[in-house]
Amino acid sequence: MLIKKHSKKLKYRPLGICVTALLIVLTACTRQPHSPHIKAELTTVYREKIILDNFIFQYWWQERGETPFLKPYTLRTTDYVVEIIKPVPGQPDRVIVETHHLPLADLATIDITLTDTGKKILITKTDHTTLEAITAFPRGLRKDPKSGIADYKVYVEGTLTENGDTKKYHQEIDYITRIAILSVQPPS
């Protein structure tokens, strides 16, 4: 009698652990972090003005490590991730390139202009300070610091409403000249 009583407990204990683990996994998977609702006005290289709801950036890149195989990665975020050049203190002829994650809620405009030497990105924050960024892919996004970036693209995404129809908008940032953040609503 004593042996059967203990064996029954052992028989059902792994089942209880599995059910508990399954509930924890399901709860963790259904909770998604809510990002702020951002409305932005884009100006394309064709001088079209487009207003997008649920505006985000999508960063796509491939890394090459010690093997010849490329590993693709994607990041969708409401941060503008850019490389910013800063002078080295005390050494005016040297610079440091840093990756910055700038929340779109803190930005007013992003102006991308074509110059004689390439593109210039001028970022204006809501407190009216400006930052100048370069168009290089943010190396701070690399998963492996020893790997190299083989290929990359930066996209803007959102929901476009035209004549009552709603559709997804997805465009490379190379075709955008200005991004103005119209409104930011905190996550619900």
> Tokens for 18?
């599995």
User: What is the domain partition of the chain in residue ranges?
Assistant: 1-31, 34-185
CB 157 within 8 A of CB 85: no
pLDDT at residue 28 in the model = 47
CB 105 within 8 A of CB 38: yes
pLDDT band per the 50, 70, 90 thresholds, residue 24 = low
pLDDT band per the 50, 70, 90 thresholds, residue 147 = confident
Q: What is the pLDDT of residues 87-135, one digit of tens each?
A: 888 988 898 989 999 999 999 999 999 888 888 999 999 999 999 999 8
pLDDT at residue 139 in the model = 87
CB 81 within 8 A of CB 138: yes
pLDDT band per the 50, 70, 90 thresholds, residue 32 = very low
